[in-house]
Structure 1
Amino acid sequence: MAKPPARIAGDLLDEHGTTYAQQAGIRLADRPAPLFQLLVLANLLSARIGADIAVAAARELWAAGLTTPARMRDSGRAERVAALGRAGYRRYDESTATRLRAMSEQLLADYRGDLRRLRADGGADLAALGRLLQAFPGIGPAGAQIFLREAQGVWSLEPVFDAKALEGARRAGLPADPEALAGLVAPADRAQFAAALVRRALQK
């Protein structure tokens, strides 16, 4: 007998229900520093490189003290490249190091380093928020969706299940529909569930 969708969702949460922010050591909250760190992580995950390497690169940047836009902006390029290299983030280390500084400069200039101001500008409109996020160097449509997928709980957004999460839903035998997926778990678990579906999609 086939498992009911809610049971499949529960199993996925139990097995894979850690967000990428949690894996990267980000204590995500609606505050400037963790939101900036999530933006950095979304930038790193946007490259054609393994998610585990991107997460490791984020942790190396935090270990180097580059946890705020001002610190990232003021860091030396060699320091950023070295942190990325220690995580094995090598094919894109030079270009990413440049983008991270440019992104931090823009965040400081446009929002005084506080992404809550971007949230205020975009409101609860996912499309508007996505457009604002894509104005940052290195953040394209996929990066914006990664950010919103992970931030949906702290920003009280409508359910965010991006293309990769919907692919995971199909592989798991679940409906590839954001509203239907959201109904399978508690609102507080949506970001974790979306991350679990992404990991399901990435399984070989």
Structure 2
Amino acid sequence: MGKTDGAVLDALLDRYGRTYAREAGIKLSDQPKPLYQLLVLATLLSARISGQVAVAAARELYAAGYGTPKAMRESSWQDRVDALGRGHYRRYDERTATMLGDGAGLIVERWKGDLRRLRDEAGGDDRRIASLLMEFPGIGPMGADIFLREVQAVWPQVAPHLDKQVLDGAGKLGLPRQARSLAKLAHGGDELARLSAALVRVSHDKKSVNDVKSAAAR
């Protein structure tokens, strides 16, 4: 790592290196409950709505007790709508409430409520995992990428998962735009997930790019 890349990386992680899972209060580990909570978050983040609103809605769902597939499936549609509304996730609340209920049913029936079974069915291959994830209502290619970017912190099988948004953010900061070269800048899966989240944030915000470059030049 060159001095310039190192300074940019330090500034980037210091300012924007929070995973979306952490913001949503998920203590991510390779266990069924937090993995399911991450899937819920990826579903919410997939809509055309701000990341802050999606995170707030996820927190409300978990606070209401819907942090497991069984609890989500057993909740009423109206209860899910109400929780999403408390998180100001109102534009897509009714449709999303339906998708979350259906998705909870799918994971219980097919993978016994455990996304590790999905991972194992896919042989740990990130493309096959993405394909299976897209069987969940509300999860398309973007949602699968969101899940894989975050889960690489605890699923080393899928790392490095650096999609176009991440690489676009890297390019704006002058960091390597090749996945392998960029991955070498991170120390372990947790930092890779933080780096991915940070680069997604700066890919949408020119002010953040300037902020990181200015801090790195000091």
Query: Which TM-score tier does this pair reach, normalised by the shorter chain?
Result: over 0.9
Q: Distance between the aligned counterparts of 2:105 and 2:63, measured in 1?
A: 21
Counting matched residue pairs gives 203
Identity across aligned pairs (percent)?
A: 52
User: AA paired with 2:199?
Assistant: L
Determine the structure 2 residue equivalent to 1:101. 101
Q: Distance between the aligned counterparts of 1:124 and 1:99, measured in 2?
A: 25
Determine the structure 1 residue equivalent to 2:27. 27
Q: Distance between the aligned counterparts of 1:201 and 1:47, measured in 2?
A: 18
Indicate whether 1:181 and 2:182 are aligned: yes
User: AA paired with 2:192?
Assistant: R
Indicate whether 1:128 and 2:128 are aligned: yes
Q: Distance between the aligned counterparts of 1:61 and 1:171, measured in 2?
A: 35
Q: Could you give the per-residue CA deviations for residues 14-43 of structure 1, whole angstroms, max 9, x where no partner exists? A: 111110000000000000000000000000
Determine the structure 2 residue equivalent to 1:152. 152
Supply the RMSD in Å over aligned alpha carbons.
1.2
Indicate whether 1:77 and 2:87 are aligned: no
* Per-residue deviation, 1:153: 1.9
Determine the structure 1 residue equivalent to 2:167. 166
**Structure 1 residue ranges, 4+ long, deviating more than 6 angstroms after superposition:** none
SS in 1 for 2:143: helix
Q: Distance between the aligned counterparts of 2:44 and 2:106, measured in 1?
A: 17
Q: Could you give the per-residue CA deviations for residues 111-166 of structure 1, whole angstroms, max 9, x where no partner exists? A: 00000101111123111111011111111000001001000121112211122211
Determine the structure 1 residue equivalent to 2:211. none
Q: Distance between the aligned counterparts of 2:148 and 2:19, measured in 1?
A: 12
User: AA paired with 1:74?
Assistant: E
Q: Distance between the aligned counterparts of 1:150 and 1:158, measured in 2?
A: 10
SS in 2 for 1:66: coil
Q: Distance between the aligned counterparts of 2:23 and 2:178, measured in 1?
A: 26
Q: Distance between the aligned counterparts of 1:17 and 1:133, measured in 2?
A: 25
Once the two structures are overlaid, the 10-residue window that deviates more, 33-42 or 176-185, is 176-185
User: AA paired with 2:203?
Assistant: A
Determine the structure 1 residue equivalent to 2:204. 202
Q: Distance between the aligned counterparts of 1:50 and 1:162, measured in 2?
A: 20
TM-score normalized by structure 1? Answer: 0.96
Determine the structure 1 residue equivalent to 2:209. none
SS in 2 for 1:40: helix
* Per-residue deviation, 1:167: 1.7
Q: Is the 8 A contact 1:146 1:162 kept in 2?
A: no
Once the two structures are overlaid, the 10-residue window that deviates more, 162-171 or 75-84, is 162-171
TM-score normalized by structure 2? Answer: 0.90
Q: Distance between the aligned counterparts of 2:88 and 2:171, measured in 1?
A: 31
SS in 1 for 2:139: coil
Indicate whether 1:88 and 2:88 are aligned: yes
